[in-house]
Amino acid sequence: MADVNRGNRPLSPFMIGPYYRPQWTSMLSIVHRITGCALALGAVLIVWWLLAAASGPDYFASADWVVTSWLGQLVLFGCLWALLYHFCNGIRHLIWDTGLLLEVDKAELAGKMTVVASVVLTLLVWII
Q: Is 66 exposed, middle or buried (0-12, 13-18, 19+ CB in 10 A)?
A: middle
Angle separating helix axes 104-127 and 70-97, nearest 10 degrees? 140
52-81-24 Cα angle (round to 5): 145
How far is Cα 69 from Cα 53, in angstroms, rounded to an integer?
A: 17
Look at the chain and count its residues: 128
Instruction: Give the amino acid at 2.
Output: A
86 is in an annotated binding site: yes
Contact 118/126 with Cβ under 8 angstroms? no
Annotated binding-site positions for heme: 86
Annotated binding-site positions: 86
